[in-house]
Amino acid sequence: MNLLNTFFNLPILIETFPLLLSGLVVTLQIGITSIIAGLAGGLFLALIRLYGPGPVPFLAKIYIDIFRSIPLLVLLIVVYYALPFVGIRLSPFVSAVAALTLVSSAYTAEIFRAGIEAIPNGQFEASQALGLSPRHMMVDVILPQAIKIVIPPLTNNCINVLKDTALASVVAMPDLLKQATQAQALSANPTPLIGAALIHVALLWPLVSIVARLEKRFGQEKR
Amino acid sequence: MAPLISISNLKKAYGIFTVLHGINLDIAEGEVVCVIGPSGSGKSTLIRCINRLEAFSNESSIVVDGVTVGPGKALAKVRAEVGMVFQSFNLFPHLTVLKNVMLAPMRVRGTKPADAERKARELLARVGISEQAEKYPGKLSGGQQQRVAIARALAMEPKVMLFDEPTSSLDPEMVGEVLDVMKELAWMGVTMVVVTHEMGFARQVADRVIFMDGGRIVEEGTPTDIFDTPKEERTQSFLRAVLNH
């Protein structure tokens, strides 16, 4: 009974629920912005890494390696707390989106690259033999096939980005986690934290099961 | 009249392994040339150089319809004029048969979709697969896929068609339907360079047969010359091996 009152205190949950929902909205704003920017950045990085001129592929590889190595929390704190010392002052929202996008585009780039490299050479040759320009070859032939292959890992990456938005709470962003800790402080009860955890699960569980289904379907198609 | 394709001193090497030792070959408009020879003789590499799917040595030169084949802007122009059919079909699996045939004319020539579709349906009828137009390539048999690939290449109205062992990955009972389409093209006067192991086809259709071995043209001539009275010992032993079994 005591446990129920401590962790699943219904009156407190109802009272703090609007606050949690406003946090959820912020979480989704950060997450979706970062996912879209990360997809665009990742595709761009993958293409210049594969087909860029001169030293460009090498530079892209360095970028990808660095941002896959750096812990997101460290990057976020650098962006928000260190950059002001050199005069770059970003809002909490922009800091969070920037850090998430920088990292997400590095991962996404590797996913796209793997997808493009999985397309048989014959597809490239047939496109070239028909006289298609490199741009049309990519847009009409290679990417439609590559994107189909990478939908499961990309969805997985989206899940990771949405989960990582919780880190934005350290730069005073009123996201779901931040609102929950605040509500916890106000009500002197951890129920809002449990609420935040449940909302996260409710948000991501469907995505997780979609990934599982996609992976199974694509796995069968290959045979 | 200047030849449609003029290949001179074509050299190609992978590292220290030389695939082509300075090939010289002219192909006239309307000519059907069959290239035969053992595996690894360089015959596929030879025709893949014509549209520069394989890069080749700077000392070599290939000219197609007055345009020099080399890296850069002119290459797209050459490729648009040179159709190619691959051993492994290489159809675009995410597009329907119809869209496979329509894509290049629309993107490269700027053909309007309605015109491209009319043309594509016409070509699919010609290769005998009108009913499959809305299907995806994966649903078709190998022979049908290869016929679509021929239609796709023809849709660009190329000056020459290259065939790289077009029947080698087909089930035996499907070889005939593809060869029939190719024979029809030959009789219509399409310029063709065909790398093949189908000696019957070469004898029946070719204006000229080229026998290659070890990256060189060993012997060339009419089908009668090559198949009935081959001069070179290497040609004789190859033909003995492929014909008498």
pTM: 0.89
- Report for A162-176, B63-77, B212-226: range of highest mean pLDDT: B212-226
Q: What is the pLDDT of residue A223?
A: 39
Least confident residue range of A15-29, A139-153, B40-54: A15-29
Question: Which tens digits make up the pLDDT trace of B90-143?
Answer: 999 999 999 999 999 999 999 999 999 999 999 999 999 999 999 999 999 999
Question: Which tens digits make up the pLDDT trace of B30-56?
Answer: 999 999 999 999 999 999 999 999 999
Strand ranges (E), chain B: 5-14, 17-27, 32-36, 61-64, 67-68, 82-85, 160-164, 191-195, 208-213, 216-221
Check B153 against A130: CB less than 8 A apart.
Answer: yes
The CATH number linked to B159 is 3.40.50.300
> Phi and psi at residue A158, in whole multiples of 5°?
-60, -40
Using alpha carbons only, how large is chain A's radius of gyration in Å? Answer: 21
Range of the domain at A170: 9-222
Q: What is the pLDDT of residue B35?
A: 97
Question: Hey, what are B168's tokens?
Answer: 């080698």
Angle at A64 between CA A58 and CA A70, to 5 degrees: 135
Enumerate long-range contacts of A190-195, CB under 8 Å, 24 or more apart: A190/A6, A190/A7, A191/A6, A191/A7, A191/A8, A191/A9, A191/A12, A191/A13, A191/A16, A192/A12, A192/A13, A192/A16, A192/A19, A192/A20, A194/A7, A194/A8, A194/A13, A195/A13, A195/A16, A195/A17, A195/A20
Question: Which tens digits make up the pLDDT trace of B183-232?
Answer: 999 999 999 999 999 999 999 999 999 999 999 999 999 999 999 999 99
Check B86 against A125: CB less than 8 A apart.
Answer: yes
Contact A78, A98 (CB under 8 A): no
* B53 closest CB neighbour out of A129, A131, A141: A129
Q: What is the pLDDT of residue B245?
A: 62
Question: Is A78 touching B (CB cutoff 8 A)?
Answer: no
Check A132 against B156: CB less than 8 A apart.
Answer: no
Q: Does B244 score more than 80 pLDDT?
A: no
Split into its structural domains, chain B has a count of 1
In a domain, A4, yes or no: no
Question: Is A134 touching B (CB cutoff 8 A)?
Answer: no
Tokens 């990057």, residue located: A75
Split into its structural domains, chain A has a count of 1
Residues from chain A that touch B53, judged by Cβ atoms under 8 A, are: 125, 128-129
Find the mean pLDDT for residues A218-223: 59
Q: Specify which residues A175 forms β-bridges with.
A: none
Question: Is A136 touching B (CB cutoff 8 A)?
Answer: yes
Question: Is B112 touching A (CB cutoff 8 A)?
Answer: no
Interface test with A, best of B107, B154, B162 (most A CBs within 10 A): B107
In a domain, A38, yes or no: yes
Distance from CA of A72 to the nearest CA of B (A): 37
Range of the domain at B180: 5-244
Name the band, by pLDDT with cuts 50, 70 and 90, for residue A170.
Answer: confident
Question: Is B50 touching A (CB cutoff 8 A)?
Answer: no
Check A131 against B84: CB less than 8 A apart.
Answer: no
Give the sheet arrangement for strand B17-27, strand by strand. B17-27, B5-14, B61-64, B67-68
Residue of B nearest to A125 (CA): B53
In a domain, A1, yes or no: no
Question: Which tens digits make up the pLDDT trace of B156-195?
Answer: 999 999 999 999 999 999 999 999 999 999 999 999 999 9
Q: Does B15 score more than 70 pLDDT?
A: yes
Q: What is the pLDDT of residue A1?
A: 57
* B53 closest CB neighbour out of A128, A141, A148: A128
Check B152 against A130: CB less than 8 A apart.
Answer: yes
Find the mean pLDDT for residues A174-180: 88
Question: Hey, what are A167's tokens?
Answer: 């880190």
Q: Does A161 score more than 50 pLDDT?
A: yes
Contact A184, A193 (CB under 8 A): yes
Check A133 against B107: CB less than 8 A apart.
Answer: yes
Contact A31, A165 (CB under 8 A): yes
Q: What number is the ipTM of this complex?
A: 0.94
Tokens 């590889």, residue located: A61
Distance from CA of A122 to the nearest CA of B (A): 5
Name the band, by pLDDT with cuts 50, 70 and 90, for residue A7.
Answer: confident
In a domain, A179, yes or no: yes
Check B153 against A133: CB less than 8 A apart.
Answer: no
Check A129 against B93: CB less than 8 A apart.
Answer: no
DSSP class per residue in chain A = -HHHHHH--HHHHHHHHHHHHHHHHHHHHHHHHHHHHHHHHHHHHHHHHHH--TTHHHHHHHHHHHHHHS-HHHHHHIIIIIGGGGT----HHHHHHHHHHHHHHHHHHHHHHHHHHTS-HHHHHHHHHTT--HHHIIIIIIHHHHHHHHHHHHHHHHHHHHHHGGGGGGGT---HHHHHHHHHHHHTSSHHHHHHHHHHHHHHHHHHHHHHHHHHHHHHHH-
Residues from chain B that touch A148, judged by Cβ atoms under 8 A, are: 94
| Other CB atoms within 10 A of residue B211 CB | 25
Check B79 against A123: CB less than 8 A apart.
Answer: no
Residues from chain B that touch A128, judged by Cβ atoms under 8 A, are: 51, 53, 79
Residues from chain A that touch B88, judged by Cβ atoms under 8 A, are: 122
Q: How many residues would you count in chain B? A: 245
Chain A, window 165-184: residues with a beta carbon less than 8 angstroms from a chain B beta carbon? none
Q: What is the mean pLDDT of chain A?
A: 91
Q: What is the pLDDT of residue B158?
A: 95
3-state secondary structure of B43: helix
Q: What is the pLDDT of residue A221?
A: 59
Question: Is A118 touching B (CB cutoff 8 A)?
Answer: no
Q: What is the pLDDT of residue A5?
A: 81
The CATH number linked to A101 is 1.10.3720.10
Question: Which tens digits make up the pLDDT trace of A129-143?
Answer: 999 999 999 999 999
Q: What is the pLDDT of residue B32?
A: 96
Please state, in angstroms and rounded to a whole number, the distance separating the CA atoms of residues B140 and B144. Answer: 6
Contact B37, B238 (CB under 8 A): yes
Check B79 against A141: CB less than 8 A apart.
Answer: no
